[in-house]
Amino acid sequence: DIQMTQSPSAMSASIGDRVTITCRASQGISNYLAWFQQKPGKVPKRLIYASSSLQSGVPSRFSGSGSGTEFTLTISSVQPEDSATYYCLQHNNYPFTFGQGTRLEIK
Amino acid sequence: EVQLVESGGGLVQPGGSLRLSCVASGFTFSTYSMNWVRQAPGKGLEWVSYISSVSTTIFYADSVKGRFTISRDNAKDSLYLQMNSLRAEDTAVYYCARAYGSFNWFDSWGQGTLVTVSS
């Protein structure tokens, strides 16, 4: 099974900060990686697909990069509404696996 | 508008069974693969099962293999998850999510249905 190691598990940022979240795959997954945002009590929302493609309607401050085993989600200038938990997901190989999540707190 | 609506959750005793449903609308259900994903209270997301558009390919997480069965009825635009031999650790919100092509995966999710396994 492919393990997705996401870091950090939690972080705090000030408004306007640049934030980077990393996911490392235990083996190569090409670019079959998506990023999701989940706010408390809400349904996960896809932000990025195919490693770097921005979901329609998602603010351009969100971006994704990477291929193979290392991937990043970047928020260029964090806003108060970005307070949430972020997950990566690999769907290159069954069983599909999520990272353990990164809780982002806005100071 | 794309909609996925789950139902069938509830309280069940350990060892019991439950059948979840997910009804789709606003898109051509029969052309999409579908997944079930769950989230235990206060925990992260866990992929549970996948079924291809015409049911020819099915996958399960090891944690549910042999106990859960995924199925679909394209005539009814519906996805199902039959859950047997339920355990306390199956307690979670269960979501259905669609997948299409190589990369259009998990773009739409249902609102979730809560399954609680407890005596």
| Average pLDDT value over all residues in chain B | 97
Residues A97 and A3: beta-carbon distance below 8 Å: yes
Predicted pLDDT at A31: 95
Answer yes or no: do A97 and B47 touch at CB < 8 A. Answer: yes
Query: Predicted confidence band at A7 (pLDDT cuts at 50, 70, 90)?
Result: very high
Q: Give A42-100 as a DSSP string.
A: S--EEEEETTTEEPTTS-TTEEEEEETTEEEEEESS--GGG-EEEEEEE-SSSSPEE--
Q: pLDDT-based confidence at B102, cuts 50/70/90?
A: confident
Q: Above 90 in pLDDT, residue B104?
A: no
Closest Cβ opposite residue B105 in set A49, A85, A100 = A49
* Residue in B closest to A96 by C-alpha: B47
Residue of B nearest to A48 (CA): B107
pLDDT tens per residue, range A20-76 = 999 999 999 999 999 999 999 999 999 999 999 999 999 999 999 999 999 999 999
Mean pLDDT of B24-35: 97
What pLDDT is attached to residue B16?
98
pLDDT in tens, B38-56: 999 999 999 999 999 999 9
- Kindly state the average pLDDT of the residues B92-118: 95
Mutate to test the interface with A, among B60, B103, B108, B114 (most CBs of A within 10 A): B103
For range B57-64, the mean pLDDT: 97
Instruction: Give the C-alpha distances (Å, rounded to integers) separating B8 from A9, A35, B34.
Output: 33, 28, 17
